[in-house]
Structure 1
Amino acid sequence: MEFESEKEMQKWLSNIFAKGQCLADVIINYEEFISSSDHLNYPDSSHQKIAHSFLHCLKSFENHEVLVEDKNISLNSDDILRPDFLLYSSATESIIIVELKNQKSSTRQTATEIGAYAAELRSYLPFLSEGDLVNVIVSSEWPTLLCHFTYNEIVWLHKRIICLEPTHSGGERALKIVDPYLIFKEQMTPSISAQQLGGYQICLYDDQLYAGGDYMRLQEFENSMFIALNAMSAKGNSLKAHGFAFLWRHRFDVGFAPYNITVMNFASFQTPMLTIENSTVNENIFSNKLIKAIHDHNPEGHSNTLDIISDYAETFLKEFCSPRAEGYSNWQTLKPRIFTEIAIAFVGWGYFQDRLFDRLAKMPKHEEADIRFESTDPLFAIAMLNEIIT
């Protein structure tokens, strides 16, 4: 170990800051990491997120000041919350939480403390976004549990975290950016199966059709339908969910619901089955209990999260139609119906929104319109989904 204790590590870093130096001054591979393009070659977008998180954090490392060092920040005098360092970066207008760890057994404590400090900061700054909160973990060891925690916080919860470790340079103590590969090397990016996506159709019934009204009357409300789609995307992102929705209408005058929204969300409890079936995964007591629960209850992804997203959309739909959820199933069953009719628009949230815009950014511009594609283009979206869903 480079330091005998966390206290020694804190004293060293405190002296660095007292001399007017910043984190960038003591990280030996700071410039190398910033100028490197290795992260562009990572095969998976989740792996790239790790590197992008590191790069995001580094922007705050050249100009910052100490707000508190090992002081209680709790607004409640009965609670004790003492981050090792809280820094303020004037360059990025960010708060930097620095957490020091010098032993393998403190991994769970690290996860708990970082979350607690961030929550308490929002008592002072209630609108502090994840993009303006930089988490720095300095650890002499990077056991599996700490790597798993960091991976999930960055990839699935969109936290901005960077991992550093103590080292030596020219006989002096220093810090080094941990290789992102260390964080994601043992992580498996689950292949996405159509079974992992649960959902249903929100049928937009036009009550006036029961009295012989115009079948295309709802066409004048398509803008309101687009607003409902955007509301679904916003709500899905706020819930940190991962899914998408298609707006489509019948090709012919069929039934009393001319328009439909097919909404899908990750069926979280289908993912373990596909992960555990991977030959590289070792079974344990928990995995066996989880498999049994899934077999007993067969959850298909029609969870509260999906209902919250749909209910939010219905707020904007009820003014001109009677929305009703029907056809509960998975993507394999619901997908064909969309494209035998007239697909109108697409929105995504979470992972699917990220992948849509990643693909959009790589597309050449349309020569005449000088644009790439509409982000809601259903044909562009289905091509993207076909690439990532088996």
Structure 2
Amino acid sequence: MSKPKLPPESEVVTWLQRLIENDQLLENIQGQEIITSITDAIGQDFFIPSFGIDYISRRASAEAAGHVLGRLGLLEIISINTSISLTKGEVLRPDILCFSPESKTLVVFEVKRASETERQTVTELAGYEQELRNLLPFLGNFDICFVVVAADWSTLLTHAVGSMNAWSGKQCLALKLVSIESSFALQAHLPEAWHLTGSVKLPPEALPSIDLYLVEKSADAIDDEGDENDGGQAEGNGADERLPPRLVMTAMDIIARAGDRAGSHGFMMLWRDVNGYGRGRWCITLCAIDPYSMYAWCKEHGLSQRDSDASLFLDSRKADIAGQTPATIYDLAKAAYPILQEQFEPEFSGDFCWQMKARQYRLRGVPTRFEFWGSLGQHAREFVCNPAVRNWYMPYMSQNQLDWTDPVVAMPLIENLSAGVPFPGGTIKCSDAFLVGRALGDLALAAFNAAPDKEHAARIEPMVEWAQLEALRYAIEMKQMYDVTEEIVTPIPMLSNDPSRKLQATEDLAKWVRTDLISDRHPFHQACFDLGLREAMLFRLSEEGSIDRFPPDRPHQAALLIRRILKGAILRMKGSQGQLLQSAEYRDFEEYVAPHLSSCLDEQGDVDGVRLDAVLDEIPDLELLRAFPGTFVKGIDSIVPVVLHTVSPAFPVTVDWEWLKSGVRALFEEGDHRPAVIFNQDGTVGTGRIMGIGKFLSPIMDPDVEVYLLDETSARNIAMKMTWEEVKDFYAKRSEAFG
């Protein structure tokens, strides 16, 4: 059946003109609630913003649409299909150009009746914008609004307008033109220029970095004027050597603004070189997102994509271009050279990924100040301004007047972006227990070693600061779990910045994690936590290849606990969830232990515990230490169920149901016919796959009609097939219980 034929664009323009003149345009736009539901969600009292890579385009288009909708009232028509060019002989004719006297905003309307002319849309809008800026120099992006009215939103037009909003900072409202009996209708449309990647964090390889060492010039090298106005030499004016020079902070501001102008996305860390490994006291580590590494990761781990000439080319060059630090980051750093060179001799070094660099600097540099740019900068600023963050998530930020430049705010933010948020979904796996044990173990050891005298404490200051920041990241998430969990009644102990109380505060928190957060009902998780807590330094040296610093009996004590954990896990392999599903983690674990188990099986094929003890004793201690953080603990995760708590009803927040539906649809098209909307223990709502019993559930037929609901908010997971309306009702009832 052919599409109904639409009248000429001139008739549509005349109809729009009539609506504008009668101030009826806004009320004739249908579907505005979809836009407001997204924009209203951002500033909710209990909404903690996350850096959702897949959500960037949708949110940007919604915010732009909301901005334009707020400026469509009481418009004054300037021109209708007449040229606005200032140059004789040039023709630039927007369909309708209006002025909003209330907001002093120009609104450009462009009507596209047929798909054949849609290809010209963005080119025309760019031309109109340039001419308006020629007429009104320094007109800002928020001072020009675009309204594109199209009958057929083709892929090209959708991606073009979505890109204008997401990456060019334009304010464009997309409206779908519908022909009805004797008139027209307008439907709000959200153009999303993005293929879902399935990524929830930035992969480590996508965060290359460089170091900009600030080598201080000698007094003779600084001219008289610079010497009198010393901005780089702390000694010259008696300033605290721990505080960065004002000139360096200005340089960081310059670099960040240059990053915004360049359309780059990244962050930088200023750190103080305590032990003098480098030539300068101060160093700026700059990190930018590498789009080529992002592509490589998404291609391998994310949702499937259709091959194209562009993707095939990138596949063929992946080894050459992925992981390299973008040349842009050097240009950004050089933008600050004019002022840095007054007091320093800047030098580049250390071209490798952020996570590797962060591990190396734990014994070397003290994080002092951070700055962000691009989409990461926008996220950091929104994070700091968010009421839920200031009141609930990081209350110390408002109490101490901190912002994204402070390490206690910036470091958890960066690590959550790159390493992932601790305790995903609010559950505790054995690997989570092990990692939080290591974090608290590192801090306890650092605090203990810093206690003897001030001189020694100064030398290990980097180790103390990095350990404190990592423990803080886990403590923040554990505080959220405590706030919503019904079983935990003992208040969570707080970490301390006071050197005299730091060790005791860490030990108190570790005791609370073991006895209250995990509890005696989960001995495997307690054992993994104890292992990480007691042997944190041992595992760190093992990863660095320096375990020979310890006497031989120390690894042996750790290996004894690993053997006990392994024995319990091996005896539970048969009939476990991992065996049932044959997950990758389980198969890796099984492949490792299988050669050792052949002599331990009885006639029924069960593992004999006595013989297993002897076999495990034969595995070298150092081999157990190297394998536990990876193969062993991930395999144990597939065998031992997670720690679940009963949580209070979720905070009442606005949910973008259409976005969740698009995620479910993507999973369905990927081949997973049991996609789920997941109500997590931490109160978040998302989409994902049903692990465990998922393969035994009946598939859904239409992801736009039905979906599985996986409720993880009680001590047991519950999976139910529901229609989308039933899922919304379920969520509404849970939110009512909170109130």
Q: Larger C-alpha radius of gyration, 1 or 2?
A: 2
Which of 267, 270, 283 in structure 2 is aligned with 1:260?
A: 283
TM-superposed CA distance for 1:350, in Å, is 1.1
The equivalences for 1:1-390 within 5 A come to: 1=4, 3-17=6-20, 19-21=21-23, 23-30=25-32, 32=33, 36=37, 40=41, 44=52, 45-46=55-56, 47-167=58-178, 172-178=183-189, 180=190, 183=192, 186-188=195-197, 191-208=201-218, 217=235, 219=241, 222-277=245-300, 278-297=302-321, 300-303=324-327, 305-340=328-363, 341-360=365-384, 361=386, 362-365=388-391, 366=395, 370-371=399-400, 373-390=402-419
Moved more, 6-15 or 59-68: 6-15
What is the Cα-based RMSD across aligned positions, in Å?
A: 3.1
Distance in 2 between the 1:78 and 1:316 partners?
Answer: 47
Change (3 A) 1:106 1:369: closer
Distance in 1 between the 2:100 and 2:198 partners?
Answer: 34
Change (3 A) 1:73 1:198: farther
Please say if residues 22 and 64 of structure 1, whose CA atoms lie closer than 8 Å, have aligned partners that are also in contact: no
Distance in 1 between the 2:299 and 2:38 partners?
Answer: 34
Which residue of 1 is the match for residue 619 of structure 2? none
- The code of the aligned residue for 2:329 comes to L
TM-superposed CA distance for 1:331, in Å, is 1.9
- Alignment coverage as a number of residue pairs: 383
Q: Which has the higher contact order (CA 8 A, sep 6+)?
A: 1
User: Deviation string for 1:62-83 (max 9, x for gaps)?
Assistant: 1211122212222333433221
Please say if residues 36 and 66 of structure 2, whose CA atoms lie closer than 8 Å, have aligned partners that are also in contact: no
Q: Percent identity?
A: 22
User: Deviation string for 1:224-247 (max 9, x for gaps)?
Assistant: 111111111111112221111110
- The code of the aligned residue for 1:52 comes to E
Change (3 A) 1:185 1:117: same
- Listed as ranges, the gaps of 5+ residues in structure 2 are 43-48, 222-231, 420-739
TM-superposed CA distance for 1:195, in Å, is 1.7
TM-score by length of 1: 0.87
Distance in 2 between the 1:252 and 1:296 partners?
Answer: 36
- Listed as ranges, the gaps of 5+ residues in structure 1 are none
Distance in 1 between the 2:343 and 2:148 partners?
Answer: 52
Change (3 A) 1:356 1:249: same
Change (3 A) 1:369 1:380: closer
TM-superposed CA distance for 1:163, in Å, is 0.9
User: What secondary structure is seen at the aligned counterpart in 1 of 2:276?
Assistant: coil
- The code of the aligned residue for 1:23 comes to L
TM-superposed CA distance for 1:205, in Å, is 0.3
- Say which structure is richer in helix: 2
TM-superposed CA distance for 1:279, in Å, is 4.3
- The code of the aligned residue for 1:183 comes to E
Please say if residues 390 and 398 of structure 2, whose CA atoms lie closer than 8 Å, have aligned partners that are also in contact: no
Please say if residues 87 and 96 of structure 1, whose CA atoms lie closer than 8 Å, have aligned partners that are also in contact: yes
- The code of the aligned residue for 2:404 comes to S
- Say which structure is richer in strand: 1
User: What secondary structure is seen at the aligned counterpart in 1 of 2:106?
Assistant: strand
